[in-house]
Amino acid sequence: MATTVETKTQGAVKGGNGKFIFPLTEMGKIAAGTGYSTAMGPVVEGERMQCALVTKARGTGSRPHLHPNEQWNYIVKGTLRVKVGDGAEQLCGPGTLLYFPANIVHYTIATPEEDVVFFAVKDLSHGIIGKAADGTMAGGHYDPGYGPQPT
For residue range 12-68, what is the model confidence (pLDDT) as tens digits? 999 999 999 999 999 999 999 999 999 999 999 999 999 999 999 999 999 999 999
Q: How confident is the model at residue 150 (pLDDT cuts 50, 70, 90)?
A: low
Angle at 85 between CA 81 and CA 115, to 5 degrees: 20
pLDDT confidence of residue 121: 98
Domains and CATH numbers, the chain: 34-135 (2.60.120.10)
Which of 24, 56, 57 is CA-nearest to residue 42?
24
Answer left, alpha or beta for residue 139, where phi above 0 means left and psi between -120 and 50 means alpha. left
| Residue 140 and residue 62 in contact, taking contact as beta carbons nearer than 8 Å | yes
Q: For residue range 67-95, list pLDDT tens digits in order.
A: 999 999 999 999 999 999 999 999 999 99
pTM (2 decimals)?
Answer: 0.92
pLDDT confidence of residue 151: 52
Q: Which of helix, strand or coil describes residue 26?
A: helix
| Among the ranges given (69-78, 109-118, 124-133), the one the predictor scored with the smallest mean pLDDT | 124-133
pLDDT confidence of residue 1: 44
